[in-house]
Structure 1
Amino acid sequence: MSKSPEELHPIKAFGWAARDSSGVLSPFKFSRRDTGDEDVKFKVLFCGICHSDLHSIKNEWGFSRYPLVPGHEIVGVVINVGCKVKRFKVGDKVGVGCMIGACHSCENCKNDLENYCPKLIFTYNATYYDHTRTYGGYSDVMVASERYVVLMPENLPLDAAAPLLCAGITVYSPMKYYGLCHPNLHLGVVGLGGLGHMAVKFGKAFGMKVTVISTSPTKEKEAIEHLGADSFLISRNPDQMQAAINTLDGIIDTVSAVHPLLPLIGLLKSHGKLIVIGVPEKPLELPVFPLLMGRKLAAGSFIGGMKETQEMIDFAGKHNITADVEIIPMDYVNTAMERLAKADVKFRFVIDIAKNLDYCLASKQSCLS
């Protein structure tokens, strides 16, 4: 006899969810599965807001299912572990990123690339092995398989480290895979948002020369004086762009809006690499001729496998790399989404989950009904 939803998910949980494509988030009661033999259960303390959360709650990619609890930059403290868990114990600081499951038998999974598994299970808005809905980190508690949990460095503050679980690995993985991680190489970073500022930080930690490329002149001071970039290009300034032709070994393009690739390809040296990690809502136009003339590469990348994610977290701990964040209460999240849509954030919103939700419970407000 099959188990009922209540039997499959006996752990009471609460958070904030979108109910329809308006994207408005509001308090939501739900449940999670009990801690299995190989599971880690942790109290969520902080959760970053990714631009993909905004796309998802508004169904801008066309496959959202409601109610939808977003959040895949989730950090907290372990409160229970299964009897077969080996890597974690109660009290550990841990995190969960964009995925919580895969087939574990395909070539990608066997090579620690679960992120490219055809049966990848996302942390939210997906269907788990038991055919139940997955809910993300805008909630008080998380349960995940040990395989998809990372140990957070003790020296990094959890609030500022949370965005590493998406923004951090999204830039780190292509930089490592495409060899854009060696001293004295010249890296271009297009866009100075949540992804872009992380690319600058990792690039400098790798010992690279970093040039930020942006449409906004107001970001130059931030890029150079605060983040340590070596130079700044205004992409709409033809003189600046012309002067920088054939100077970059590689480019990490983080922009999620439609934009021309031709000027960026022109900045690359021969054999240079343009890596696109932003997700525009419409297809980009890729000019082939300039690729041919310099044997240049245009490629993409999507987060990273769990082994590499832990490697990235450890590297960040060693080099004291965190995101620049604005901490917000849970009940500010709808305003934060409006600001995110206008790029009015420097550089990542992070929700103080525990503080706000605990307050709701302590004050016996009706916000969870």
Structure 2
Amino acid sequence: MQKNSMDMEETSNQARQYSKLKTQLIVYQLLLTAAFLITMLFSGASLFLKALVIGLSRNFYLQLGFYLVIFSGIYYLLFIGLDFYGSFLLEHKFKLSNQTILGWLKQSIKKGLLSLLMLLAAAEAFYFLLRNFQNNWWLPATALWLMLTITLAKITPILIIPLFYKCRPLVNRELKENLIRLSKNHGVRIKEVFEVQLSKDTKKANAAVVGFGKGRRILLGDTLLENYSDQEIEAIFAHELGHLCLLHTWKIFAFGTVISLASFYLTFLLLKTSLTFFGFNQIYDIAAFALLALILMLLGLLFMPIQNSFLRHLEKNADMFALDHIQNKQSFIAAIKKLANQNLSDPSPGKFAEFLLYTHPPISKRLHYAGEKSEKCPEQRHTAKDFN
């Protein structure tokens, strides 16, 4: 008993240390990104880069494409060291990774190229709006954001996830039938359950319900399937099902649309007052991309606590849905504890860190209200105490 207590304390200490280092990395990344964008503006590097790409083509959108490729390449090379530390060295230090250096490099290049393709598509469309709707571009830009977000959500399970992880239909027939039956009982149609080979890269466990309509599918990490009972997996899935039944995806889209509208309108105002200061003549000046990125980043930070507070509220609702719709609430509590230990989640982060960065309620809070819910069920009262 004493050994188990010591092991739990050691895991909690590791989780706190891991979380602290991850938070520091986020801060460094933000500060260095801001420094990079400010340097591009004040040093004249952005104007120089614009002059360079103008010589490559007479077409505005090709010039923009060349600018973004070079700009993104510089950013990628400047930050690859920090990314390597955060996603490889740190993960290995805390024994959370199975990835090889070559595997990490392949993943990094894939992510970089995919990010570049998405940036090119979004920026080309965005600059089209800047050129053709100079006085009210922020309205169609919000519609563009919503369209791109929905499109990304639809293609992620079909195209993007298979780029990084092998997926195969779930072999455990009984578990598969139970999950699909649970979905049907709540009016959610899911055709297939897939096992995702996460263990190639990580020891962390994860599960999700992704996609829309016919493309909707259940994804279960092999790291989850290997370490959790069927009841625990069903409890985790019930949480994901809660998001669907409570229409959280559409609520997130609606909330995100409001935030995007506010962000784009504020960007519109800030660009109007700052363009001439940096030597730009037009709102769609290619060299002003660094200024546009800086403003959007700062506004993103401003709205981030509000967005995260909203997401934590939805996550709690999904937890409560799961607890209301599973018979064995002990399995939910056990699964949350296992996930926290396996993924090294800080059980009780500081209130400021939670307010700014956390999209989910801390583990301690999730266990607290899950325990309270279990205590209200007489048949499980004794098991709930065992987990508190």
Question: TM-score with structure 2 length normalisation?
Answer: 0.24
State the structure with more CA Rg: 2
More strand by percentage:
1
Question: TM-score with structure 1 length normalisation?
Answer: 0.25
